[in-house]
Amino acid sequence: MNRFLSHATNRVDAKGRVSVPAPFRSVLQERQIQELYGFQDFVFPAISIGGPELMERFERQLGQLDAFSPEAHQMSLLVHGGGVFMKLDPEGRLMVTDFIRAFTGITTEVTFVGRADYFQLWQPRAFQDAQQAARLAHQRRSAPAT
Amino acid sequence: MNRFLSHATNRVDAKGRVSVPAPFRSVLQERQIQELYGFQDFVFPAISIGGPELMERFERQLGQLDAFSPEAHQMSLLVHGGGVFMKLDPEGRLMVTDFIRAFTGITTEVTFVGRADYFQLWQPRAFQDAQQAARLAHQRRSAPAT
DNA sequence: CTCGCTCCCATTGACGCCCATGTGGTCCCA
DNA sequence: TGGGACCACATGGGCGTCAATGGGAGCGAG
């Protein structure tokens, strides 16, 4: 399977590194992704990470907006100003920079969350809460009359 | 019979493995399912497991939403973040990971429940309770005047 | 010269695959 | 119809491999 799926929590070591889960690494390899692009998620307090085509996709989306609209400016601020290139070390770990910590609240542990075409870095507790909220929202939508 | 029917409870061994009931395994074989996709059920504290088309069904739903809407993000959080690929060992067992334990409350025993196109993993007691609740709710609807 | 990042190596623990055992049920045959 | 052999399945354990993690050393920039 060539999609990012499931979630897993790994520990940040004393040097600020964290191992990317092996299943995710093999997806990266299958997709021939060597350059990683990360950015601040639009909706959640999480960093989204994928290949270069991920940024391109958002730029395309950006192009559909009125270039002078507040939305376009905001998105550009997020995609470009909030974006960053990342590299894995030989063991498949990435550095948890202050850029990441500040936006996500990550300290000692990182939850990796698959999102099909890309994956995300979350503060573990924040992910649990967000997922729980999503589940409740889904139930509310499914059974609106209670 | 090519549908998942009935339920059975098996024990989790010291290594965290549990045998998938033989009837379920033969349904998997009949349906040519080799890759198992599981996800955290939206409603019950259970893990639902089926073939890849199970995930595709959800992704089709997802595709109908605006990709940048909060609803789509929440849905993806459930479908992708809450999903996982699973593999059976040569004896037809699967690993009961923390991913599964945390969500279902499963510890030493697993109840497998057939749901026609897929099956579920339950904590035995939780299944009994849920089934009982469903039975009562049904009776109430069938005979509203008591 | 010092700090920080990268690469390299070691350790530990989890997971995969293999084989062994017990038990209940079924079928066959006398 | 009773007994025995056989078989399918659930379960248990050994062992090798790989992933996650931790620490040491080298290199380059400031």
In whole angstroms, what is the distance from residue B132 CA to residue B130 CA? Answer: 5
**Are the beta carbons of A6 and B52 separated by less than 8 Å?**
no
Provide the positions of strand D that have an atom within 7 A of a protein CB: 8-14, 18-24
Would you say B115 and B44 are in contact if contact means Cβ atoms under 8 Å apart?
A: no
Would you say A65 and A75 are in contact if contact means Cβ atoms under 8 Å apart?
A: yes
pLDDT at residue number A83? 80
pLDDT at residue number A72? 76
**Are the beta carbons of A135 and B99 separated by less than 8 Å?**
no
- B77-116 pLDDT, tens digit per residue, is 999 999 999 999 999 999 999 989 999 999 999 999 999 9
pLDDT at residue number B146? 56
In whole angstroms, what is the distance from residue B21 CA to residue A41 CA? Answer: 42
**Cα–chain center distance at B94:** 13
- B26-72 pLDDT, tens digit per residue, is 999 999 998 899 999 988 999 999 999 999 999 999 999 887 788 99
B144 has pLDDT over 80: no
Query: How far does the CA of residue A34 sit from the closest CA of chain B (Å)?
Result: 23
pLDDT at residue number A82? 75
pLDDT at residue number B1? 66
Residue ranges for chain A with pLDDT beneath 50: none
**Which domains, from first to last, does chain B contain?**
7-142 (3.40.1550.20)
Residues of A in contact with B68 (CB under 8 A): 42, 61
Look at residue A52 and give its three-state secondary structure.
Answer: helix
